[in-house]
Structure 1
Amino acid sequence: MFETTSKNIDYPYIIQLEEINKLQQSEKVCNNSVDRLSKNILEEGKWTTVIPVEASTGWVMDGNHRLNAARSLRLKYVPVVKLHYEDLRVSIFWWGTDRPYPLDKIRYEASHVALLSFKTTRHIFSPLLPKVNILLSTLTG
């Protein structure tokens, strides 16, 4: 298993490879954006962005387009950071506003709603999530 810890922060993020089939898409996506992103990732030949997921459910906090791009590229793994919504490094807002998104609402939706509407939530991570540089061949299994 690939695992690394980002440096120079008080509470390091742990990056690990996770099987795509263990992740749960949380919001609807724009298929054109997924196609463009897939093409860009394939042209680069590497994966550079971790996907933050809720640790106990695999619910994608941010990166649903990226998850779908990984599926279209037939990758088996993606790099993730597993977090909990109570983590002080995670803030969640209604998309396009500064209004906090209620934790009890997101917990309910994670277990009862198939997919949220496109751009329902916006997540802020402080410190910023680390970047990675992983060859796609590493992620194909």
Structure 2
Amino acid sequence: MKLAIVEIEFIDPERILRNEEHSAAHAEELANAMKYSDLWRVPILLEKESLAVMDGHHRLAAARSLGLIRVPVLRLDYQHVEVVATREGFTVTPDEIVMRARQGNLYPEKTTRHMFSSPIPNCNISLVLCRGRVPGMPEIR
């Protein structure tokens, strides 16, 4: 599945489920870079049904710290995404990831590694679209 042909959606970041811890310092640096450029550059990749993060925990944390009401995402399923553990002693399967996300039982930072069939595309979306209501912009889900 080519990620460049998957449709970007906008979702309220509060609906997105984390499954891994993140570095607060890295998320803050990312939020500052977003504020400086006024751009959202890379969509968050989510499991399509649960909205569990596959890639983008730091972007999600940055969005929440910036008070954004919508973020660009790509919704995928595990039929097209491989996942492996990067730490010993952890079970990392699609079902385990989704279960942990729903329960709030987060893996330590950088425990999972999702591998995609093509590079994650840039989207370069103005943060104006992520901050509030914009005439003609579809309602967030």
CA RMSD in angstroms, aligned pairs only: 2.2
Mean Cα deviation higher: 30-39 or 105-114: 105-114
Q: Is it true that 1:36 corresponds to 2:29 in the alignment?
A: yes
C-alpha change, 1:116 and 1:47, in structure 2 (3 Å) is same
Q: Is it true that 1:93 corresponds to 2:84 in the alignment?
A: yes
Structure having the higher strand fraction is 1
Describe the superposition over 1:37-60 as per-residue Cα deviations: whole angstroms up to 9, x where unpaired.
111111111101010001111111
Shift of 1:11: 8.3
Aligned position for 1:125: 116
Shift of 1:10: 9.2
Shift of 1:96: 6.7
From 33, 54, 64, the counterpart of 2:57: 64
Mapped partners of 1:84, 1:10: distance in 2: 12
Residue identity in the other structure for 1:127 = S
Q: When the two structures are superposed, what TM-score results if normalisation uses the length of structure 2? A: 0.81
Aligned position for 1:27: 20
SS of corresponding position for 2:129: helix
SS of corresponding position for 2:40: strand
Mapped partners of 1:10, 1:66: distance in 2: 18
Aligned position for 1:103: 94
- Runs of 4 or more off by more than 4 Å in structure 1? none
Q: Is the 8 A contact 1:45 1:136 kept in 2?
A: yes
Mapped partners of 2:64, 2:124: distance in 1: 19
Shift of 1:114: 2.3
Identity fraction in percent: 32
Shift of 1:84: 1.3
Q: When the two structures are superposed, what TM-score results if normalisation uses the length of structure 1? A: 0.81
State the structure with bigger RCO (CA 8 A, min sep 6), 1 or 2: 2
Structure 2: state its 5+ residue gaps.
Answer: 133-141
